[in-house]
Amino acid sequence: MADPTVFGMEEKSEGFEPSVIDESRLRKPPPKYQGLRMFRRNKAAVFGLILLIVILFITFVLPVIFDGERTERVGGIHLAPGAEGSTTFGTDYLGRDVGRIVMQGGSATLKVAALAALVIVGLGTTIGALAGYYGGWVDNVLMRITEFFQVLPGLLFAIVIVALYGASTTTIVLAIGLIAWPTIARLVRAEFFRQKNLEYVKAARAIGASDARIIFKTIMPNTLPVVIVQSTLVMGSAILFEAGLAFLGLSNPKDLSWGFYIGVNRNYFLSNWWGVTFPGLMIFFTVLSLSLIGDGLQDAVNPKLRGR
């Protein structure tokens, strides 16, 4: 006779209670897939990812398909979108196609924002890791430096740097990086303070691992989720900073980035609203998409939020 326990049931006699197999546990995905599943369940984050893909397609793929010089005059000046003799997105004060400029100018904005985000994450992560791991006088010195940059008026400081050293891509990237890294540094420092005395770190010390190996091979991988989430928000802030600098004319005019194009069209807003509106919408939707993706990543990498 078959043993009833094989089928998840025990005999009810002699005080035994039936036991039921929890099938949901058997179907539970491995931990490495739980974050992906949580991200997919966040509809706002998925929408943000799709929106970002569309923006990247418009910015990097469409200019190749619709090849043409963006400074080329295509019609009369200040022609509204869809008007006779105009283009789909209208023409600006020089008769150029606004849609073509917005498509091709986005690459300059996104390139500066991505490079600035790399500087911010690299500098902030390094300083935060050293401060959190070593503590003591190292932490005091590095945190005083962090506080100095944190209290500086960000946009004003960036304007001064760009005005002194020229409006090149390198200068703008460094200016944005110098004003935005303290947030990453403080987050990484807090994570290192929390993790450096945990058992797995003590075990690494016990087997003779060097400080560099413990920092970059042992603790850093467990800190990366926080850094990845914050980097999406940092890139959104970098786009806004770049747009602000470009709006003030502190960027390379050859790039015709979104912020710069808004700046050169601001005097014609009443007669040429599309020259300001379309690049402004691109900035808005790009920052929105990064913010939504960051929120989804926060849910995905934080185990406490997976059960919401």
Which pairs from 60-65 meet CB under 8 Å and 24+ separation?
60/107, 62/103, 63/100, 63/103, 63/104, 63/107
Percent of the chain having pLDDT more than 90? 24
- Residue 213: pLDDT above 50? yes
Report the length, in residues, of the chain. Answer: 308
Task: Name the amino acid, one letter, at 190.
Answer: A
Predicted pLDDT at 33: 64
Report the predicted TM-score, pTM, of the whole model to 2 decimal places: 0.81
Model confidence band, residue 11 (pLDDT cutoffs 50, 70, 90): very low
Tell me which DSSP letter residue 272 carries: -
Tokens of 118: 């790399």
- In this structure, are residues 179 and 149 in contact, taking their beta carbons and an 8 Å threshold? yes
Task: Decide if 39 contacts 297 (C-beta within 8 A).
Answer: yes
Q: What is the pLDDT of residue 21?
A: 47
| DSSP secondary structure letter of residue 15 | G
* Average predicted confidence (pLDDT) for the chain: 82
User: How far apart, in whole angstroms, are the C-alpha atoms of residue 107 and residue 103?
Assistant: 8
**Can you tell me the mean pLDDT for 61-87?**
79
Task: Give the tens place of pLDDT for each residue, 227-283.
Answer: 888 888 889 889 998 898 888 888 877 778 899 999 888 888 888 899 899 999 999
**Position 39 pLDDT exceeds 60:** yes
Which residue did the predictor score with more confidence, 122 or 254?
122
- How many Å apart are CA 74 and CA 86, to the nearest integer? 8
CA 8 – CA 228 distance, rounded (Å): 43
* CA nearest to 272, candidates 86, 64, 21, 60: 86
CA atoms within 13 A of residue 136's CA, in its CB half-sphere: 3
For the ranges 37-41, 135-139, 286-290, 298-302, the lowest mean pLDDT is seen at: 298-302
Provide mean pLDDT across the span 9-28: 48
Question: What average pLDDT does the segment 199-228 reach?
Answer: 87
CB-based contact 87:74 (threshold 8 Å): yes
Higher pLDDT pick, 74 / 48 = 48
Better pLDDT: 32 or 247 = 247
**Rounded Cα–Cα distance for residues 155 and 233 (Å):** 17
Do 75 and 228 contact (CB within 8 A), yes or no? no
Predicted pLDDT of residue 143: 92
Q: How far apart are CA 207 and CA 69, in angstroms?
A: 62
Q: Which residue has the higher pLDDT, 121 or 72?
A: 121
Predicted confidence at residue 226, as pLDDT, reads 84
pLDDT of residue 141: 94
Q: How far apart are CA 231 and CA 70, in angstroms?
A: 32
Residue 5 has pLDDT above 70, yes or no: no
**Amino acid identity, residue 56?**
L
What structural domains does the chain harbor?
Answer: 43-305 (1.10.3720.10)
Measured distance CA(110)–CA(238) in Å, rounded: 9
Q: Among the listed ranges 47-51, 67-71, 89-93, 96-100, which one has the minimum average pLDDT value? A: 67-71
**Confidence class of residue 10 from pLDDT cuts 50, 70 and 90?**
very low
